Structure 1
């Protein structure tokens, strides 16, 4: 029989989560539950970690965050992962997806939003929608590599999982600093994910970047995928 892990749902008017770790995982055939935050006014996530993982055949859970004003800062990590031990060739479930929706968003000072696969299964996608504006601001002087990313990672044995896509839709998107990164990369025989940015105004400054890469040097290396930017003005 399959036993699925439960879901975690946080709802409220003004939500403030600081110095906290929340983890939802599966270590068997059952799927991991979803994790959601729904604020009717404001959501503030500070120096916290939110992990949804699969370590076995069950699929990882999805992450849903919705708030009119969303502020994420100080090395907060939001991650959906499909994991496989470095020496294992076993099958595992696929990574969950990340959905974030707001009117205005501020992600600053080392924020990590990632969907990744460390296995043969595919990584999840990231979908971020802001009704008015989104600011991603950070340098790269942090213990973790900040940014919005999907990845397919390699270990001792060849992996074949593909990285998921990234979708960002907002009238105004501002990226500032060396840690303000939107990227998809693959180190496996699977392909990287596509990046779709739809913003009337797109502003990049202080070495911010949007990138796609394949870093596997083997003959069967997966291809880096495409970047699609739709914008009236890019500066």
Structure 2
């Protein structure tokens, strides 16, 4: 029995030795792999700041000619360029982009655009005039303990003067906001008109014809002595989709 235990202990010790040798071999291999990776990383040349800028510039330039990895043709690039020119010019000077787009309606758009700006100026001047008047009167009454300066505002209380002043200021500021929205609308109109004009056919020849016609009426049991009781004058619209 003791001999058997000795043999078992000897076998277990040999197996443990082999396991330690295998673990040391694996540790040596992993260390070698990590060292090789570090050496390879050190051997790769790091990207300089100048090279990074050049690479980013090249990527941006490539994005102009590709859309989701699809190469744009020269026609599409030309259309995008014209559209960019149109809305940028309208952002600089209202109506400039509309002139760039051209067309029959450009001389209708320009009076509307500048008419809106002129109207906005007079509305702003109106609200600003009364705002200054009421603000001056409110400041005078506060500084002089309820004294009144403007003879046109003698019947109004100090609280009413301040309330009206705030209303005029709010309307004046709202006029500025509406004017800014009008300017943005001018830019959007120039861009959309350029896109539609160059990508779709919105010319004058839309295949629409208007001709007079006679439409039959529903017959009745009553006596109808002439032809006009059977037909009604009308207009016929014919739209041809191309």
Q: Under TM normalisation by the shorter chain, which class is it?
A: under 0.3
TM-score, L = length of structure 1: 0.16
Q: Which has the higher contact order (CA 8 A, sep 6+)?
A: 2
The structure having more radius of gyration, on CA atoms, is 2
Structure with a larger share of its residues in helix: 2
